[in-house]
Amino acid sequence: MNKIETQAFIQENFAQYYAQNSGSIQSPSLMEKREFAFLIFKEKTMLRHKGLTTAEELRNALKTIAPSDVYYSCAYYERPEEDMEAKGWLGADLVFDIDADHIPTPCAKQHDTWTCNNCGAAGHGAPPENCPTCEGQKFKDESWPCEVCLESAKEETLKLVDVLTKDFDLPIEDLRIAFSGHRGYHVHVESEATRTLDQIARKEIVDYITGIGLEPIFHGFEKGRGPNLDDGGWRGKIAKGTYEYLLTTNSEQLARLGFKKSTVNALIKEREKILESWREKGPWRMFKRISAEGWKKIIQKGIEKQSVKIDTVVTTDIHRLIRLTNTLHGKTGLKKTIVSFTDIERFDPLKNAIAFEKGALTVVVSEASQFRLGNETYGPYKNERVELPTAAALFLLCKGAATVSE
C-alpha cells in the first residue's frame, strides 16, 4: 500500500473504534462554550471553530468524520464558532502538558531519529540546531514512547501534582490527570480560582513550577546558612534538590562545575557526613571548602532536579486546544486515558491505553525500534513482513514505520 492507502486503512480502523465506542467519549464540562477541532486524515488538515452543544452531537461528529485527532479548547467562549477575534473569551482551564520530548533521557539516542528536510541526512536522538551536512535547520523527527521515557514523564507529573496541591493549595478534586496517548501526561485544573487568569499570571505560575529566576539568597541561603529539608515551598525544594544532587553526583560532574580536584575529592570522601548533616541544619556550615558561589552552583543543580519539566507554551496559551479524553492519538492508535491520582503509580500507559484489543494484521515494517504494548515486546524490525496484533500493527502504521501487506 502507498501512503494514501495506508492513511485510508488507519482511518477505517479509527472509524470502527468510534462507531463501537462512542458511548465512552465523555464531553468536557460547559461544552457549549468550547471550540472543537478535528484533524482530518486527508492532507492532515485541521477542521476548526466547531461548536457542539450535546454529547450526542459530539459522538455523531466522531462517527461521521472519523478524525485522526480530536481537540477541544481549554478556553470558554461566548461564540465558539466565530473567528478568534470574535469569540468573546470568558476564561480558560489551567492546563499542563508533560511530554518526554522535554525530559532529557538517555534512551532517546536509541529510539528517536531525525532527518534533514533539505539534504536527507539522518541521525539518532534529538535534531541538531543545524544539519551537520548542509547546515539546514528544518527536520523531520520521529520519537517513540518507551518505558523509560513514560516513567520519566510520570515522575514529572507526580512532582507537578505535589506543587499544585501543596504550594498552590489546589484541591486534588480540581485536578484531572490523563495519559496523552503518546509520550506524556496532561494535567487539567478546572477551578473558578484559576479560570480567569491572564497570560501574565499563567507565566508566573510556569516560572514558579519550573524554578525560573530563583535567587538562593531569597530562600534562606547565605554564607554559612541555608534552607532545611522540612521547609515549605522552594526553600524546602532547594534543600531536597541539593541533598539529591549531593547523593547522586560523581567526580566528573563536580569537576564540570569548576571545583578544584581537592574539593571534589573531599566532597566525595565526606559524602556520608554531608548527607548526615541534614538531620541538623544541613551542610552549609560544616563544609567550609565550598565558597558561597560554589554552593550556589550546587544549589542550581538542586533546583534543576526539583523543577518540573513542562511544555511552558501550553500553560500560558489561553486559547489552547487539548486532546479530548478517550479519543485516539493519530501517532500511536492509543487513547487519551484518565488516570486517578490514587492509581497513577500502578498505571501502565502501554497496557491501559490500548484501544484495539482484538484481531491481527500482517504489515511490512521498514524500520522500527523495539517497543512494548500490553505484555508483549516487539521488534526491532528492519524491512520485515510480520503478523502482529492489531494494536501493535496500527502503532507502527500510525508511526509511518510500516505499510499493510498486500
- Which listed residue (69, 101, 112, 311) is catalytic? 311
* Domain 216-306 annotated CATH 1.10.10: no
Q: Is 311 an annotated catalytic residue?
A: yes
| Segment (H or E) for 358 | none
Long-range contacts of 213-221 (CB under 8 A, 24+ apart): 214/238, 214/303, 216/295, 216/296, 216/299, 221/284, 221/295, 221/296, 221/299
pLDDT in tens for each of the 406 residues of the chain? 667 788 899 999 999 999 999 888 989 999 999 999 999 998 789 999 999 999 999 999 999 999 999 999 999 999 999 999 999 999 999 999 999 888 877 777 777 778 888 888 888 877 888 999 998 888 888 778 888 999 999 999 999 999 999 999 999 999 999 999 999 999 999 999 999 999 999 999 999 999 998 988 888 888 678 898 989 999 999 999 999 999 999 999 999 999 999 999 988 998 888 888 888 778 887 777 788 888 899 999 999 999 999 999 999 999 999 999 999 999 999 999 999 999 999 999 999 999 999 999 999 999 898 999 999 999 899 999 999 999 999 999 999 999 998 7
Q: Is 99 an annotated catalytic residue?
A: yes
How far apart are the two ends of the chain, measured CA to CA in Å? 7
> Which CATH code, of 3.20.20.30, 3.50.50.60, 2.130.10.10, 3.90.920.10, is assigned to 3-99+147-202+312-355?
3.90.920.10
For residue 95 the three cell numbers come to: 492546563
Q: Which CATH code for domain 356-406?
A: 3.40.5.50
Question: What residue ranges do the domains of the chain occupy?
Answer: 3-99+147-202+312-355, 108-142, 216-306, 356-406
- Which listed residue (69, 93, 97, 101) is catalytic? 97
- Which listed residue (69, 99, 101, 112) is catalytic? 99
